[in-house]
Amino acid sequence: MIVDHIRPTVQSVHRVLPNVTREGRMKIDIRTDLVGEQLEQAWHRYDTAFRHLNALTVQRHLMYRSEFDDVMTDTRVEKWLAYSDDGVLLGLATYTNQLSAWPLISPEYFARRWPAHYADNRIWYCGFVAVPGHEQGVFTKLIEAMYRHAEEHDGVISLDICRHNMETYRLDRAIGVWLRRISGGRVRCEAADSQTFMTYETAPAA
Ligand SMILES: CC(C)(COP(=O)(O)OP(=O)(O)OC[C@H]1O[C@@H](n2cnc3c(N)ncnc32)[C@H](O)[C@@H]1OP(=O)(O)O)[C@@H](O)C(=O)NCCC(=O)NCCS
Protein backbone atom coordinates (compact mmCIF):
# COMPACT_ATOMS: atom_id res chain seq x y z
CA MET A 1 0.00 0.00 0.00
CA ILE A 2 1.28 3.46 -0.87
CA VAL A 3 0.54 5.92 1.89
CA ASP A 4 1.02 9.61 2.25
CA HIS A 5 2.72 11.03 5.26
CA ILE A 6 0.43 10.10 8.18
CA ARG A 7 -0.59 13.18 10.05
CA PRO A 8 0.89 13.31 13.52
CA THR A 9 -1.63 13.70 16.30
CA VAL A 10 -1.23 17.23 17.54
CA GLN A 11 -4.67 18.55 18.27
CA SER A 12 -7.44 17.41 20.52
CA VAL A 13 -9.17 14.47 18.85
CA HIS A 14 -11.97 12.17 19.94
CA ARG A 15 -12.87 9.02 18.01
CA VAL A 16 -15.03 6.10 19.07
CA LEU A 17 -14.62 2.53 17.83
CA PRO A 18 -17.62 0.29 18.49
CA ASN A 19 -16.52 -3.11 19.65
CA VAL A 20 -17.87 -6.30 21.12
CA THR A 21 -16.34 -8.75 23.57
CA ARG A 22 -17.52 -12.24 24.36
CA GLU A 23 -19.04 -11.01 27.60
CA GLY A 24 -20.92 -8.06 26.18
CA ARG A 25 -20.50 -4.79 24.44
CA MET A 26 -17.65 -2.41 24.97
CA LYS A 27 -16.40 0.58 23.07
CA ILE A 28 -13.00 2.04 22.57
CA ASP A 29 -12.77 5.76 22.91
CA ILE A 30 -9.66 7.46 21.54
CA ARG A 31 -8.73 10.79 23.09
CA THR A 32 -5.67 12.96 22.88
CA ASP A 33 -6.11 14.75 26.18
CA LEU A 34 -7.72 13.68 29.39
CA VAL A 35 -8.75 16.14 32.04
CA GLY A 36 -11.06 16.31 35.07
CA GLU A 37 -12.99 13.19 35.99
CA GLN A 38 -11.67 11.22 33.01
CA LEU A 39 -8.11 11.89 34.10
CA GLU A 40 -8.91 10.82 37.66
CA GLN A 41 -10.52 7.59 36.47
CA ALA A 42 -7.59 6.88 34.15
CA TRP A 43 -5.08 7.39 36.98
CA HIS A 44 -7.06 5.13 39.29
CA ARG A 45 -7.19 2.31 36.72
CA TYR A 46 -3.55 2.74 35.75
CA ASP A 47 -2.35 2.89 39.35
CA THR A 48 -4.35 -0.22 40.24
CA ALA A 49 -2.86 -2.16 37.31
CA PHE A 50 0.76 -1.14 37.71
CA ARG A 51 1.53 -0.38 41.36
CA HIS A 52 2.42 -3.97 42.30
CA LEU A 53 5.01 -4.10 39.50
CA ASN A 54 7.24 -1.60 41.30
CA ALA A 55 8.24 -4.24 43.83
CA LEU A 56 8.87 -6.79 41.10
CA THR A 57 10.92 -4.83 38.58
CA VAL A 58 14.13 -2.80 38.83
CA GLN A 59 12.90 -0.27 36.34
CA ARG A 60 9.98 1.73 37.64
CA HIS A 61 6.89 0.95 35.58
CA LEU A 62 4.41 3.12 37.40
CA MET A 63 4.74 6.73 36.35
CA TYR A 64 4.61 9.36 39.06
CA ARG A 65 1.30 11.19 39.09
CA SER A 66 2.93 14.28 37.56
CA GLU A 67 4.45 12.19 34.76
CA PHE A 68 1.14 10.48 34.17
CA ASP A 69 -0.68 13.82 33.97
CA ASP A 70 1.90 15.08 31.46
CA VAL A 71 1.31 12.06 29.23
CA MET A 72 -2.47 12.24 29.58
CA THR A 73 -2.52 15.87 28.49
CA ASP A 74 0.13 15.50 25.77
CA THR A 75 -1.93 15.59 22.56
CA ARG A 76 0.83 13.80 20.65
CA VAL A 77 -0.01 10.65 22.61
CA GLU A 78 -3.39 9.02 22.02
CA LYS A 79 -5.21 7.51 24.95
CA TRP A 80 -7.20 4.40 23.96
CA LEU A 81 -9.92 3.91 26.56
CA ALA A 82 -12.01 0.73 26.75
CA TYR A 83 -15.43 1.34 28.29
CA SER A 84 -18.17 -1.11 29.15
CA ASP A 85 -21.59 -0.38 27.74
CA ASP A 86 -22.60 1.24 30.99
CA GLY A 87 -19.66 3.62 30.93
CA VAL A 88 -17.15 1.94 33.25
CA LEU A 89 -13.52 2.41 32.26
CA LEU A 90 -12.22 -1.17 31.99
CA GLY A 91 -8.82 -0.57 30.48
CA LEU A 92 -6.57 1.94 28.83
CA ALA A 93 -3.50 2.16 26.65
CA THR A 94 -1.33 4.85 25.13
CA TYR A 95 -0.39 4.88 21.48
CA THR A 96 1.63 7.38 19.50
CA ASN A 97 3.29 7.77 16.13
CA GLN A 98 5.25 10.73 17.55
CA LEU A 99 8.08 8.68 18.96
CA SER A 100 9.85 11.59 20.60
CA ALA A 101 6.76 12.08 22.76
CA TRP A 102 7.38 8.87 24.70
CA PRO A 103 10.11 9.20 27.32
CA LEU A 104 13.00 6.74 27.25
CA ILE A 105 12.66 5.38 23.76
CA SER A 106 15.02 6.41 21.03
CA PRO A 107 13.39 7.61 17.79
CA GLU A 108 16.77 7.22 16.07
CA TYR A 109 16.57 3.46 16.50
CA PHE A 110 13.32 3.30 14.58
CA ALA A 111 14.50 5.81 11.98
CA ARG A 112 17.54 3.62 11.26
CA ARG A 113 15.59 0.40 10.95
CA TRP A 114 12.52 1.65 9.10
CA PRO A 115 13.51 4.94 7.48
CA ALA A 116 10.52 5.13 5.12
CA HIS A 117 8.03 4.21 7.82
CA TYR A 118 9.64 6.68 10.16
CA ALA A 119 9.49 9.49 7.63
CA ASP A 120 5.77 8.78 7.10
CA ASN A 121 4.93 8.53 10.83
CA ARG A 122 3.99 4.88 10.31
CA ILE A 123 5.68 3.59 13.47
CA TRP A 124 3.56 3.46 16.61
CA TYR A 125 4.72 3.00 20.17
CA CYS A 126 2.35 1.54 22.72
CA GLY A 127 3.53 2.95 26.03
CA PHE A 128 1.41 0.73 28.24
CA VAL A 129 -1.75 -1.35 28.39
CA ALA A 130 -3.62 -1.59 31.68
CA VAL A 131 -6.65 -3.78 32.34
CA PRO A 132 -6.69 -3.92 36.15
CA GLY A 133 -9.89 -5.96 36.47
CA HIS A 134 -8.78 -8.48 33.80
CA GLU A 135 -12.25 -8.45 32.25
CA GLN A 136 -12.25 -11.05 29.53
CA GLY A 137 -11.68 -9.77 26.02
CA VAL A 138 -10.76 -6.20 26.92
CA PHE A 139 -7.01 -6.64 26.55
CA THR A 140 -7.27 -8.53 23.27
CA LYS A 141 -9.75 -6.03 21.82
CA LEU A 142 -7.51 -3.10 22.72
CA ILE A 143 -4.50 -4.84 21.19
CA GLU A 144 -6.50 -5.75 18.11
CA ALA A 145 -7.80 -2.20 17.64
CA MET A 146 -4.30 -0.76 17.85
CA TYR A 147 -2.99 -3.41 15.49
CA ARG A 148 -5.72 -2.69 12.93
CA HIS A 149 -4.88 1.00 13.01
CA ALA A 150 -1.21 0.34 12.20
CA GLU A 151 -2.12 -2.39 9.73
CA GLU A 152 -4.20 0.09 7.71
CA HIS A 153 -0.97 1.94 7.03
CA ASP A 154 1.33 -1.10 6.70
CA GLY A 155 2.90 0.21 9.87
CA VAL A 156 5.22 -1.05 12.58
CA ILE A 157 4.26 -1.29 16.27
CA SER A 158 6.63 -1.41 19.21
CA LEU A 159 6.07 -1.87 22.93
CA ASP A 160 8.10 -3.04 25.91
CA ILE A 161 7.42 -5.94 28.24
CA CYS A 162 9.23 -6.44 31.54
CA ARG A 163 10.91 -9.73 32.36
CA HIS A 164 8.38 -10.41 35.11
CA ASN A 165 5.50 -10.32 32.63
CA MET A 166 7.47 -12.50 30.21
CA GLU A 167 8.41 -15.12 32.78
CA THR A 168 5.22 -15.15 34.82
CA TYR A 169 2.61 -14.61 32.14
CA ARG A 170 4.46 -15.19 28.83
CA LEU A 171 2.91 -11.89 27.79
CA ASP A 172 5.21 -11.57 24.76
CA ARG A 173 4.03 -14.93 23.53
CA ALA A 174 0.38 -14.18 24.27
CA ILE A 175 0.48 -10.95 22.26
CA GLY A 176 2.33 -12.66 19.40
CA VAL A 177 -0.18 -15.51 19.25
CA TRP A 178 -3.09 -13.09 19.22
CA LEU A 179 -1.58 -10.84 16.54
CA ARG A 180 -0.66 -13.81 14.34
CA ARG A 181 -4.23 -15.00 14.60
CA ILE A 182 -5.87 -11.70 13.74
CA SER A 183 -3.37 -10.91 10.98
CA GLY A 184 -3.86 -14.30 9.33
CA GLY A 185 -0.23 -15.15 10.09
CA ARG A 186 1.13 -12.05 8.36
CA VAL A 187 2.61 -10.17 11.32
CA ARG A 188 6.33 -10.60 12.03
CA CYS A 189 7.17 -10.41 15.76
CA GLU A 190 10.69 -9.81 16.98
CA ALA A 191 12.31 -9.10 20.35
CA ALA A 192 14.08 -5.93 19.24
CA ASP A 193 16.18 -5.08 22.29
CA SER A 194 16.65 -5.78 25.98
CA GLN A 195 18.29 -4.18 28.97
CA THR A 196 19.79 -6.15 31.86
CA PHE A 197 19.91 -4.62 35.33
CA MET A 198 22.79 -6.12 37.34
CA THR A 199 23.26 -6.23 41.11
CA TYR A 200 26.56 -6.78 42.95
CA GLU A 201 26.26 -7.87 46.58
CA THR A 202 29.37 -7.01 48.53
CA ALA A 203 28.46 -9.38 51.38
CA PRO A 204 26.21 -12.06 49.90
CA ALA A 205 24.44 -14.37 52.31
CA ALA A 206 26.07 -17.79 52.25
C1 LIG B 1 -1.24 -7.22 30.96
C2 LIG B 1 -2.75 -7.01 31.06
C3 LIG B 1 -3.14 -5.73 30.30
C4 LIG B 1 -3.41 -8.21 30.41
O5 LIG B 1 -4.78 -8.09 30.58
P6 LIG B 1 -5.62 -9.37 31.09
O7 LIG B 1 -7.05 -9.00 31.15
O8 LIG B 1 -4.99 -9.88 32.31
O9 LIG B 1 -5.38 -10.27 29.84
P10 LIG B 1 -5.88 -11.74 29.55
O11 LIG B 1 -6.54 -12.35 30.74
O12 LIG B 1 -6.57 -11.70 28.24
O13 LIG B 1 -4.51 -12.41 29.37
C14 LIG B 1 -3.69 -12.11 28.27
C15 LIG B 1 -2.37 -12.71 28.57
O16 LIG B 1 -1.76 -11.89 29.57
C17 LIG B 1 -1.34 -12.71 30.65
N18 LIG B 1 -1.69 -12.11 31.95
C19 LIG B 1 -2.70 -12.46 32.76
N20 LIG B 1 -2.67 -11.76 33.89
C21 LIG B 1 -1.63 -10.94 33.80
C22 LIG B 1 -1.06 -9.98 34.68
N23 LIG B 1 -1.55 -9.70 35.91
N24 LIG B 1 0.00 -9.29 34.26
C25 LIG B 1 0.54 -9.54 33.06
N26 LIG B 1 0.05 -10.47 32.19
C27 LIG B 1 -1.01 -11.16 32.57
C28 LIG B 1 -2.04 -14.03 30.55
O29 LIG B 1 -1.10 -15.04 30.86
C30 LIG B 1 -2.52 -14.12 29.11
O31 LIG B 1 -1.70 -14.97 28.33
P32 LIG B 1 -2.38 -16.36 27.80
O33 LIG B 1 -3.53 -15.95 26.92
O34 LIG B 1 -1.25 -17.00 27.07
O35 LIG B 1 -2.83 -17.07 29.02
C36 LIG B 1 -3.24 -6.90 32.53
O37 LIG B 1 -2.95 -8.11 33.19
C38 LIG B 1 -2.62 -5.75 33.29
O39 LIG B 1 -3.16 -4.64 33.29
N40 LIG B 1 -1.45 -5.99 33.94
C41 LIG B 1 -0.77 -4.97 34.71
C42 LIG B 1 -0.12 -3.93 33.83
C43 LIG B 1 0.85 -4.56 32.85
O44 LIG B 1 1.71 -5.32 33.22
N45 LIG B 1 0.72 -4.19 31.56
C46 LIG B 1 1.52 -4.76 30.49
C47 LIG B 1 2.81 -4.10 30.27
S48 LIG B 1 2.63 -2.54 29.45
Q: What is the pLDDT of residue 140?
A: 96
Question: 132 lies in which domain range?
Answer: 14-182
Q: Residue 7's CB: how many other CB atoms inside 10 A?
A: 9
Q: Is the CB of 143 under 6 A from ligand 1?
A: no
Q: State the burial class of residue 202 (Cβ atoms within 10 Å of its Cβ: 0-12, 13-18, 19+).
A: exposed
H or E, element range at 80: strand 78-84
Residue nearest to atom 46 of ligand 1 (CA): 129
Angle between helices 65-73 and 36-50 (to 10 degrees): 130
The reply to whether 192 falls in a domain is no
Note whether residue 135 is domain-resident.
yes
- Is 77 a domain residue? yes
Q: Is 201 inside any structural domain?
A: no
Q: How far is the CA of 71 from the centre of ligand 1 (A)?
A: 22
Distance in angstroms (rounded) separating the CA atoms of residues 172 and 190: 10
Residue 29 lies in a domain: yes
- Residue 145: inside a domain, yes or no? yes
**Domains in the chain: how many in total?**
1
Output 143 or 16, whichever has higher pLDDT: 143
Task: Give me ligand 1 centre to Cα 143, in Å.
Answer: 11
- Put simply, whether the predicted model's pTM sits higher than 0.95 gets the answer no
pLDDT band (50, 70, 90) for residue 1: very low
Question: Ligand 1: distance of its center to the CA of 100 in Å?
Answer: 27
Pocket test for ligand 1, best of 139, 179, 180 (most atoms within 8 A of CB): 139
Q: Is 151 within the bounds of a domain?
A: yes
Say what the pLDDT of residue 24 is.
64
Q: What is the CATH number of the domain that holds 118?
A: 3.40.630.30
